Structure 1
Amino acid sequence: MATDPQALSPDRQQWWSERWISVLESFGWRRRMERARIYVREGRVLTLEFKGNQVHAQVQGTAPAPYHVTLHLDAFTAEQWQYVIDSMAQQALYSAKLLAGELPPSIEEVFTQAGLSLFPFTKFDIHSRCNCPDPVNPCKHIGAVYYLLGQRFKEDPFLLFQLRGRTKDEILRQMRHSRATPESQPLPPPPLLTYTPPKTDARFWQYTAPLPADLVVLVPPGQPDAVLSVLLPLPHENAGEASHLMNCLQQMYNTASLAACQLAMSEPLEPSD
């Protein structure tokens, strides 16, 4: 497959295509990549095809028969892809851009948030082979495939995803499914609890029978009040006012406690008319 040399001009490449090449050159392969660029301009990459997440290419070298090049990246797991696709499905921008043949620059952040890297992170992330006699990897033939892949990514950004294990149809199908699945609805708030006091007459609070002695526990007034001791600090803006209010409550409890003791030790009151 011959390639138009003008198709690789930097001003016509998209950012993800340039990023692919810049990442590879950052691995210290700049000199070999320059020689590989000449191979691409001369149309020496005869075929280039994807088989799953693997790339197979025929590159014409100096020998009569072309050399066979294969390469692939480590594919992401199903769980990793599910996280990425669910994240992309939450924003319509990604669906619109991908269908238009574009990659928004923020796409890398989606993979980063999942602890992944869309582009090769190190040179060990790329697994490539060539049957030429050159012992150095990448050789000119592998480098030529790298460059041509950058051009193919420009034409179809989904091919970059395919190197990571998901085809265009699989990604779009999963994105449609994620967008169509209704999110779990939040539970409605519980109804407000209201208290309605029972309807009673004036004698409801009167108890005329003597209390059994074994049920009466007298607490001498002046001891720390059990109820007040377990309360949290009163939520008052003024600490002095909160302290004053607590003292008032303690006095009320002491008064009530004393009255209860006197009532328990006295004769039952006669019911009033």
Structure 2
Amino acid sequence: MNGYDNGEERTFAALPPARGGAFARTWWGRAWLTALEDGALDAEQVRTGRRLARAGAVGAVSVRPGRVTAVVRDTDLVQHRADVLLDRLSDARWDRLLGLAAERAGHVAALLDREVPPELVEDAGTAGIDLLPGLGELEAECGCGAWDHCRHTAAVCYQVARLLDQDPFVLLLLRGRTERRLMDDLQARGTTTPPGADAPPGGGSGDGEGAEGSGNREGVDAAEAYAVGDILPPLPTAPDLPAGPGVPPSLDTDAPPPPGVEPAALETLAALTAVAARTLLAEALHGGAGGQEPTARSTVAQDAVRLAAGMPEGATGAGPSADALTDRLARGSGRDRDELAAAVLAWRQGAADALSVCEEEWSVEGETLARARAALDSAWEEDERPHLHARANRWTVVGAACQLRLGRDGRWWPYREEGGRWWPAGEAGHDPATVLAVAMAMAMARPDGEEGLSRRPVL
């Protein structure tokens, strides 16, 4: 799980939309959601928050002792800062909890494997230490002004459940301990001899019979032995990931460039290379993308769109040089500037797959067509069901500026009409009803023409 660690605070990048199924797979993730769902006063707000989280409306999540913060984009596209608060454990309670963990090597091994053993939570509860949140413990603060859990804080809680599934240290940080400090404390306690562990080395009884002579003596789990033993020195920590890609040098000088050299194009390529280098470093540090099959080679037209999509807005400056670079990319992709802008939006949302959906039409038949119609029919009552005009793989809502497009991989993509052109409007999903509901909510929240151009990429 990628995340930026700044000592007492960890920041996790926004997660993609949840593709169906439950938000929490682990028992501790489900316990977190139970605290939200049983403690919130308005169940409808919780359900709406779940839909927002599933649609990918929660931005980067910042976790620090006692507080989780994220910006949530509502269905009307207004962004709200939402905070979820949880009481930190006192130093005395942490001391008791660590003592309980150190008494059993399996607890330490589980924590090192990023799991929360139920027995540890039960033992802690018996000792009066509530590690997981209980009813009413998740407090809410939101910029929308709600005094209890609203859709925005609920959406943050559902997103946190996804983070907890991958790393329970998120919960431990909320309760007041960073991963590094917790591991240091556990290691310090693991070097002491546990109660009753005064038998001679090798498991013998003291009469000269060692492990080799015991015959049927049980062994010790390797993970437990490593966790409690002073076997190896601690491994060095991985290098920190830079906060952002490096800034390439400026090529804006008084000297004229050599023939055939475009400074604006070189600056853009250097900036894109720095972004790609940081991405590769992040994958190496966090175990991503390794061992994946290489992607298919891009065509020249696709590569031109990829370069345009990778340019930070304003990276090429303004004036003739920037215009010439944009025109060159448009020509290389076989498009005009508006067509390139639509292609860039598609690429940013799904690379080559989304680009093909933006441009290709193909017939939907057989089982695929039947499943899609069944999903749409079951999602609404008959008198509320939107009327769709289907043409090939493009299904347009009659009387609304939104459309669904089916990709060859079975995913549906939302589109929105602005200025007489269809523009990609979000990420794809396998359920056409869910994708259509989000697209229609966005269309109703912002009528055609209102702030519409702000969604188009600046080229």
TM-score (norm 1): 0.61
Within the alignment, does 1:9 sit opposite 2:21 as a pair? Answer: yes
Identity of aligned residues (%): 25
Return the letter of the residue paired with 1:172.
Answer: M
Distance 1:44 1:162 in 2: 24
Return the letter of the residue paired with 1:37.
Answer: R
- Paired residues for 1:71-220 under 5 Å: 71-123=84-136, 125-133=137-145, 135-182=146-193
Quick one: which of 27, 34, 38 aligns to 2:39?
A: 27
Distance 2:49 2:106 in 1: 36
* CA 1:181–1:38: 2 relative to 1, 3 Å: same
Contact (CA 8 Å) 2:100, 2:120: kept in 1 or not?
Answer: no
Distance 1:138 1:180 in 2: 44
Q: Partner of 2:85: helix, strand, or coil?
A: strand
Q: Partner of 2:118: helix, strand, or coil?
A: coil
- CA shift, 1:97, in A, is 1.1
Distance 1:120 1:52 in 2: 14
Contact (CA 8 Å) 1:48, 1:57: kept in 2 or not?
Answer: yes
Q: Partner of 2:175: helix, strand, or coil?
A: coil
- The residue number in structure 1 matching 2:74 is 61
Contact (CA 8 Å) 2:84, 2:157: kept in 1 or not?
Answer: no
- Unaligned 5+ segments in structure 1 are 186-273
Distance 1:184 1:153 in 2: 33
Return the letter of the residue paired with 1:76.
Answer: L
Return the letter of the residue paired with 2:160.
Answer: L
Q: Partner of 1:59: helix, strand, or coil?
A: strand
Distance 2:44 2:120 in 1: 30
Return the letter of the residue paired with 2:56.
Answer: G
The CA deviation string for residues 78-101 of structure 1, in whole angstroms up to 9 with x for no partner, is 111011001101111111111112
- CA shift, 1:141, in A, is 0.2
* CA 1:150–1:184: 2 relative to 1, 3 Å: closer
Return the letter of the residue paired with 1:59.
Answer: V
Contact (CA 8 Å) 1:2, 1:44: kept in 2 or not?
Answer: no
Distance 1:28 1:127 in 2: 9
Bigger Cα Rg:
1
Q: CA RMSD for the aligned pairs?
A: 2.3
- CA shift, 1:183, in A, is 5.8
- CA shift, 1:21, in A, is 0.8
- Paired residues for 1:218-257 under 5 Å: none
Contact (CA 8 Å) 2:59, 2:71: kept in 1 or not?
Answer: yes
Quick one: which of 50, 59, 73 aligns to 1:37?
A: 50
TM-score (norm 2): 0.37
Distance 1:184 1:118 in 2: 25
- Unaligned 5+ segments in structure 2 are 1-13, 197-459
Contact (CA 8 Å) 1:18, 1:150: kept in 2 or not?
Answer: yes
| Segment of structure 1 superposing worse, 86-95 or 175-184 | 175-184
